[in-house]
Amino acid sequence: MDLLPGMNSIEEAIANLKSTELSAFCLGECKKSCCLFEGLSIAVNEEQLKFLYGPQVEAAALYGVAAKMGCGKKVYAYLFRKLVDKLDKGGSLKKEGDRYRLQNTACPQYDEKTKACRVHDDPKRPPVCETFPISYRDGTGVILDARCSYVYQHWEDIILSLTMTLREKTISFKVIAPFIIGIFPYDANDYRKMRNDAPLFTMSSYLDP
């Protein structure tokens, strides 16, 4: 795929978008619906769940005492199971095979004061936090998740911007929206034409079946 100078790949173009416009929106206008899991959920494996809740478990007084006595691991495992049960009973966690779905609760790594992720730069952060809300997969194309406020408001501009970044067509886009799991094939030339020919074109035109 041929790209404008400065961009070596579509992944790089997406990373650039995320670190500029999206990042500014996240830290400014957004109410952080993704980290508060409002209308969203996150599926993680046990290791990732422990990573997210680990500090809470380790902060439990019982764990502190046990760690000093040399039986910290066993107590950690016990406290972790208790936490999972509690979240499950409270409707914040659902077991799905060997994964856990977190919902209707704020991510424990979300810092309410700074409105930011405490583990943003930690490589152990769940990969889904990295890919949300714009990602690219070979064979699938660009996936835009309109459950993100920024994508919801700017998805058309994102498509345009990424399309313009690419010298050649064709890239496909998929939009996941709160009101529809929508997937539409997308051709950059058609899109440019639509923008020129139909100034009143609206989002619903794309998403209506």
| Interacting residue ranges for ligand SF4, rule: CB under 6 A | 25-26, 30, 32-35, 42, 107, 109-110, 117, 119, 125-126, 129, 133, 148-150
Q: Which is nearer to ligand SF4, 39 or 185 (CB)?
A: 39
Side chain identity, residue 147: R
Q: Which is nearer to ligand SF4, 149 or 170 (CB)?
A: 149
Among the listed residues 103, 134, 196, the one whose alpha carbon sits nearest the alpha carbon of residue 10? 134
C-alpha dihedral, 135 to 137 to 140 to 144, nearest 10°: 0
Side chain identity, residue 72: G
Q: Which is nearer to ligand SF4, 92 or 170 (CB)?
A: 92
Beta bridge partners of 101: 43, 94
Contact 157, 125 (CB under 8 A): no
Compute the half-sphere exposure of residue 121: CA atoms within 13 Å on the CB side of its CA.
Answer: 1
Contact 33, 149 (CB under 8 A): yes
- CB of residue 68 to ligand SF4, shortest distance in Å: 29
- CB of residue 114 to ligand SF4, shortest distance in Å: 11
Contact 150, 182 (CB under 8 A): no
- CB of residue 102 to ligand SF4, shortest distance in Å: 8
- CB of residue 17 to ligand SF4, shortest distance in Å: 12
- How many residues in the chain? 209
Q: Which is nearer to ligand SF4, 117 or 143 (CB)?
A: 117
- CB of residue 43 to ligand SF4, shortest distance in Å: 11
Q: Which is nearer to ligand SF4, 50 or 169 (CB)?
A: 50
